[in-house]
Amino acid sequence: MALCAGAFFIHSAQKQPMIFLAGYRFCKHQVTGIKTHWRCSTHKNHGCKAKIHTLEDNSIIKCYNIHNH
């Protein structure tokens, strides 16, 4: 989990929740039960595969913070 140290929650200009980590922004993608999936904000434009999974209490349980941009 060391790659996700320093992550914090922010809001976009449209007031949508985001995670900011190491200069990258992650947008909420999917919520299933107690788990939320977040994708790199450039996923649509660059196909970036970086992602974060959190639980209801916002604790990070998975972090793939390797970007292609």
Using pLDDT thresholds of 50, 70 and 90, give the confidence band for residue 67: very high
Q: Going edge to edge, which strands form the sheet with 8-11?
A: 8-11, 17-21, 24-32, 35-40, 51-55, 60-64
The answer to whether residue 2 scores a pLDDT higher than 50 is no
- pLDDT for the residue 45: 84
Task: Give the pLDDT confidence score for residue 44 in this predicted structure.
Answer: 84
Q: Cβ–Cβ contacts within 10 Å for residue 63, how many?
A: 21
Q: Name the pLDDT band for 3 (thresholds 50, 70, 90).
A: low
Domain segments of the chain as ranges:
11-64
- State pLDDT tens for residues 13-59: 999 999 999 999 999 999 999 999 999 999 888 889 999 999 999 99
The architecture in CATH of the region 11-64 reads: Single Sheet (2.20)
